[in-house]
Amino acid sequence: MSKRLSEIMEERTILSFEVFPPKTDKGMEKLPDTLNHLYKYNPEYVSCTYGAGGTNVGKNMEVCKLIADADNDTIPVTHFTCIGNTREGVKEQLQNYLDNGVDHMLALRGDLPFGWTGTGGDFAYATDLVAYARKEFGDKFEIAVAGSPEGHIACRSLEADITFLKQKQDNGADYIMTQLCWDMEQFKYWLDAIREAGITMPVDVGIMPILDMAATINMALSRNGCVMPRELCEIISKNWIFPNPFDKEPFDAAADEKKAAFKEAGKEYTIRQIDEYRACGVNGIHLYALNKWEDVSEIIDRSGICTLV
């Protein structure tokens, strides 16, 4: 392993991006150009997701190899879930990642596909996956784990969620990637609480740029149950598209103007959020690039988080 992200984060705040495997060949053709534009910001790593239930996992490997083979020092980090995975299957898949030059992973339970009540595999929780990966592979992988500043929606309490996060650390995890969180007071409370609980892992904060109204609402409520602060709700309300932002053919004559106004206000909101997170002393800023580079680049440039020298 050439470098450990957790050690770098102990020294300075890092920047990274998240992408996802495109569903179409055309999308895959465009991804290298997107990555090349993001590389100019010298990210320490780029993580790659895959779909619920392991869909697109083959394309995930393709994207990770694309990042690994780039002519720079950017590290590929694969998302890896418990969904439908057996012990032997996990061992085989992780060895395949190692054989292809990918030795950093984000260990997750994963979002359950619609209609599922469990993972359908040998591991029910990410804590089990972390322990198994360490047992089978030792220090060959650097392992990130998810942290939920508002508590995981499936967990009985924030306090219980924090104890499970501590268990992930005890089982061998190296650093935390947080779920998105717009409630800064809650984030500060959580950060103090995990430190008081003995969790010393670096905290890399996941931030979704606010660019599209429907996507913002969907991301907050469909999986995560995130609090939407008054300021963000006002941006949505002031630019509400009638009958609703999910309607593909709205009757609102000002729909295009409202979309543009929302995007601009959303960028400003995202930049202020980056400022607040940096002021908290987090160890990393992890931007969900959404497989696009123009808006993300503008946010980075306007935030001043990177000095291109």
pTM of the model: 0.94
Catalytically active residues are 18
Digit-by-digit pLDDT tens for the chain (309 residues) are: 668 999 999 999 999 999 999 989 999 999 999 999 999 999 999 999 986 555 556 789 999 999 999 999 999 999 999 888 899 999 999 999 999 999 999 999 887 767 777 777 789 899 999 999 999 999 999 999 999 999 998 899 999 999 999 999 999 999 999 999 999 999 999 999 999 999 999 999 999 999 999 999 999 998 778 999 999 999 999 999 999 999 999 999 999 999 999 999 999 999 999 999 999 999 999 999 999 999 999 999 999 998 653
Maximum Cα–Cα distance across the chain? 59
Of the candidates 60, 286, 92, 70, the one whose C-alpha atom is nearest the C-alpha of residue 178 is 286
Yes or no: say if 44 and 74 are a contact pair by the CB < 8 Å rule. Answer: yes
Strands (E), the chain: 14-19, 45-48, 75-81, 104-108, 142-147, 175-178, 203-207, 284-288
